[in-house]
Structure 1
Amino acid sequence: MFVNFLLFICGGQCNVMMMIFEERIWVLFKHKWQQTLTYWSVFFSFGLCIAFLGPTILDLRCQTQSTLQQITWVFFSQQFLLLIGSCLGGLLKRTLLFSLTALSLSTLLISLVFAFIPLCNNVVMLAVAMAIAGTAMGVIDTIANLRLVKLYQKDSAVFLQVLHFFIGMGALVSPLVADPFLADDNCVKNGTENSSSNLHHLRSSLAGKGTVLHNVSHYNLHTQGTVTTNISYAFWIMALINLPVPVAVCVLMYRERMLPCFSYSPRLLEPDPRASKTPTESIPADTDQDHRDMFNCCNRSNLQGHPPSFFILHGLGGAVLFITDGIIGSYAGFVYTYAVSSPLSMHHKTAGCLPSVFWASITAGRLAAIYLSYRYTAVKLLSVSLGGVVIVECMLLMLHSSTVFLFLGTCLLGLCISTVFPCMLALTEDILDYKGCATTVLVTSASTGEMVLQVLVGSVINSQGSYSFPLSGMIAAFIGFSFFLLFLYCRHVYRNYHTEEHKSTREAVTQGSS
């Protein structure tokens, strides 16, 4: 099965990690290994969808016989519906049954979309297919994060780092699968002079995550003629690679007695009341008593039960991720455009390596954070990471004419920013005592920032020139760090409120007993 394959892949790393981690973490993992590996595998599907569109967009343009301006709106349809899917995931998280059903359907939809894309003969059909994939990605993003936080609670930081590492794994696999099938020249032949000399340059400019129209508006390729592309095979291979993931989710549902034929059998995750207590009783039970519906968080009774700092923490946590995920999306999307423009004027093949270096450093940073998140608190990791982002962005601005530092800064930026999302998610849920609303808010805010900041940065570059790219990054980094400082202050206020509330409760109990 797919989960056993993942166990084999992770076995060597797990043995090393468990020699470092204390036995309690290993006991937690052994108790919930199948669920954990299943959630990790669905994020592999998420990663597959993130990275394939950039390298294949020119071949898809040929397949749909559309202009570059038309085909790049497919990026927007995916990103916008990813945001909608993140909100939808907050509604489907109410019970474990709903969550696993949504994950199985979403991962299956991704395979179906991969298989359907070769049949899309116009850009509207392709946009609809990518919108469906984006919705599935949003559902996966919210639910997988939520279930892992819910599963491990105060110990979730380590497992969240691994979860986000699997995004990088998927994002590395899909371009490798697609590369042998990409056209080497203009794949729409009309008997006239083609633009194959610019094809590699143009393909690299579209290799970032969610690149928008500003990168390609000045290119004009043929739309009429004979289509010659083999990209269909790449999508069918990716559909097969992803197919074991929904199977793994269904296997988990089978083991948890959630399939219709086991609807009257006791679920494995429900503790047997007749069972004696074991040393692992401290393992968080996978119940849904504390996780409410997304809109139930806004009920009047719930609003009255919390201080203002409770809701401000949600907003500030979301604001930090709005900025940092926006930086990731805009940097990956426009670093190539910045590199080939004056004053750097790098060769397009050299500049084309920058998005890959950035994503590889993010993946490496999340791998290293698996150990760091156990050794250090989330506050320390976030302080170092966000402070590092500010320093790197300032250096990129000051050394804007240095080709060497652009590569070094790209690598350092990816390492620094890689741990922000999982650490911020774990910290916010821990502060708010795992009420279940924070994950939906944070994931939705991150998706919104990724979409909005790309549009803003692209517009600024288009109107003000390439120099505005590092300047925009530096301003965003300072804003994100400021939001984080406000978050820490609000966290202090929220803790003081609970301390005073507990003191007053103890005094009332003491007076009542006397």
Structure 2
Amino acid sequence: MQLLDERIRSLLQRHWRQTLTYWSVFFSFGLCLAFLGPTVLDLRCQTQSSLQQITWVFFSQQLFLLLGSSIGGLFQKTLLSSLSALFFCTFIISLVFAIIPLCYDVILLSVAMALAGQAMGVIDTIANVELVKLYQKDAAIFMQALHCFIGLGALVSPLVADPFLAEDSCILEANWTANTSSPSDLDHLRSSLVGQRAELHNMSQYPLHTKGVVVTRVSYAFWIMALINLPVPAAVLALMNHERLLPWSHKSPRLLNREAPPGLDPLGQGHRGVFSCCHPAELRGRPATYFVIHALGGAILFLTDGIIGAYAGFIYTYAVSPPLLIGRKTAGCLNSVFWASITAGRLASIYLSYRFPTAVLLTASLVGVTLVHCLLLIFYTSNVFLFIGTCVLGLCISSVSPSMLAFTEDVLNYQGCATSVLVTSAGTGEMMLQLLVGSVIHSQGTYPFLLCCTVSSFMGSFLFLVFLYTERVHRKQLTESLQGTAMAGKPTSGS
């Protein structure tokens, strides 16, 4: 049995350079996404800031990632502008890695992370859009692989950082004695600080000093990550040279000025930024279902990516709190289990996307996410089931984002602003649901954490049912419109 049929193999052979380049920029995205959690305490020492001050760096990155996603579509007018944006953004990520060790003030560090977040957001939108434009109806398979590279980058980043993290205090007081925080206390803090600010009032028992001699070696980790990331902008530059888009390239016709399929702008001008989607010229003449599909697709990714962000950010806090009271070291593995299962799920989805329709894959994934959350609520006192449920949840939710992007673009015939809207909605959900869940945990305790995720999964599943109904109505309207146009174009026979 062949793994891929001849048509898909032919497409991959034709576009392998572009495909590998877009996959590599998502590796760069993942590399930048995952380093902050493990290194945040060493960065606190480097900047000699308080825990409250350093956590603003998380907010800076997330806010500008969202802004970058919103404006990323503006670079889609030509292949030159989109590849140029990818080159500069991936180079900026290497540059940020290189200058982070020189940021001795928390404000400078926040500015650096804002630049990295902006670059990540632009990469997120452009890579998704370009891959959809290349493969169109076959995009789901390659989108799963694209999003898998985020997991690979997120896996490499903590592994590089780990040998250079401080095992004890990284600030020595004036009398050259270390503070009283033990290595286990620091591990607990690192796990608790993954994407949240709501529990800082519970961390005052750890004497983290801000004055003294800084003895951290984390700078080497960032310089190594800068070197690891450098081949990515080089790969983008090589693709630009191959497509003859650079000033010193040959003057022969550009390779990617290929013929576009009916209904698709060859330069991708339908894929503009979120704000340009609201332009009256863009909205004129669209059926109501066109807007409803955008809104529903965005809402589904708002909820599902929000679940990923909230679960990754708070599962450790939930595990070490009553009634589970799992040990700190064991609970620290939960986040790794969750992200590893997401990466494994996306690898498996490459094959599943080839074998099953995207709508079937999405239905199974969302039903699985909802059932797992219900079981986690029922067996909320079971330590073993928390690990099993975390693993299964990662497998189920892994394919939702890439599948939803490919499915929505297919429904809308690859014209309009679907990818920009959906990527921006996903980033917004990831940030907002973390804030919501953090506020609930702060006021009500940890059990409502699972309740919030369960309610979000039910809402996402319900909205997907509405999406499927709207999609059917939309296709019917398009069919009727095409039939009406064909009838109007037929010459009438004279008597």
Q: Same fold by TM (over 0.5)?
A: yes
Counterpart among 380, 394, 412 of residue 374 in structure 2: 394
Contact 2:304 2:397 in 1 (8 A): yes
Instruction: State the Cα distance separating 1:402 from its structure 2 match.
Output: 0.4
For 2:261 and 2:105, the matched residues in 1 are separated by: 55
Q: Which deviations, in whole Å up to 9, do the C-alpha atoms of 1:169-220 show, x marking residues without a partner?
A: 00000000000001110111113642125112212223x3x23342565234
For 1:492 and 1:223, the matched residues in 2 are separated by: 60
Q: 1:15 maps to what in 2? A: none
Q: What are the within-5 Å matches in structure 2 for residues 112-191 of structure 1?
A: 112-190=95-173, 191=177
For 1:293 and 1:56, the matched residues in 2 are separated by: 36
Q: Gaps spanning 5+ residues in structure 2: where?
A: none
Q: Give SS of 2:376's match.
A: helix
Contact 1:76 1:212 in 2 (8 A): no
For 2:401 and 2:268, the matched residues in 1 are separated by: 26
For 1:26 and 1:215, the matched residues in 2 are separated by: 52
Contact 1:152 1:284 in 2 (8 A): no
Q: What are the within-5 Å matches in structure 2 for residues 18-97 of structure 1?
A: 19-97=2-80
Give the counterpart letter for 1:255 in structure 2.
Answer: H
Q: 1:425 to 1:27 in 2, by over 3 A?
A: same
Normalized against structure 2, the TM-score is what?
0.95
Q: Which deviations, in whole Å up to 9, do the C-alpha atoms of 1:438-457 show, x marking residues without a partner?
A: 00000000000000000000
Q: CA RMSD of the aligned region, Å?
A: 1.9
For 2:48 and 2:212, the matched residues in 1 are separated by: 9
Q: 1:419 maps to what in 2? A: 399
Normalized against structure 1, the TM-score is what?
0.91
Runs of 4+ in 1 over 4 A off after TM superposition: 281-286
Bigger shift: residues 127-136 or 476-485: 476-485
For 1:302 and 1:291, the matched residues in 2 are separated by: 9
Instruction: State the Cα distance separating 1:289 from its structure 2 match.
Output: 5.4
Q: Which deviations, in whole Å up to 9, do the C-alpha atoms of 1:13-66 show, x marking residues without a partner?
A: xxxxx9311011110000010000000000000000111100111111111111
Identity %, equivalent residues: 62
Give the counterpart letter for 1:64 in structure 2.
Answer: T
Counterpart among 177, 187, 191 of residue 204 in structure 1: 191
Q: Give SS of 1:267's match.
A: coil
Q: 1:163 to 1:204 in 2, by over 3 A?
A: same
Contact 1:202 1:216 in 2 (8 A): no
Q: 2:209 maps to what in 1? A: 222
Counterpart among 299, 304, 308 of residue 284 in structure 2: 304
Q: 1:289 to 1:452 in 2, by over 3 A?
A: closer
Instruction: State the Cα distance separating 1:297 from its structure 2 match.
Output: 3.8
Instruction: State the Cα distance separating 1:306 from its structure 2 match.
Output: 1.3
Q: Give SS of 1:261's match.
A: coil
Instruction: State the Cα distance separating 1:338 from its structure 2 match.
Output: 0.2
Q: 1:358 maps to what in 2? A: 338
Contact 1:36 1:148 in 2 (8 A): yes
Q: Gaps spanning 5+ residues in structure 1: where?
A: 1-17, 273-280
Q: 1:443 maps to what in 2? A: 423
Q: 2:243 maps to what in 1? A: 256
How many residues align? The count is 487
Q: 1:6 maps to what in 2? A: none
Q: 2:347 maps to what in 1? A: 367
Q: What are the within-5 Å matches in structure 2 for residues 479-498 of structure 1?
A: 479-498=459-478
The reply on whether 1:335 has 2:315 as its aligned counterpart is yes
Give the counterpart letter for 2:25 in structure 1.
Answer: V
Q: Which deviations, in whole Å up to 9, do the C-alpha atoms of 1:426-468 show, x marking residues without a partner?
A: 0000000101410000000000000000000011011000111
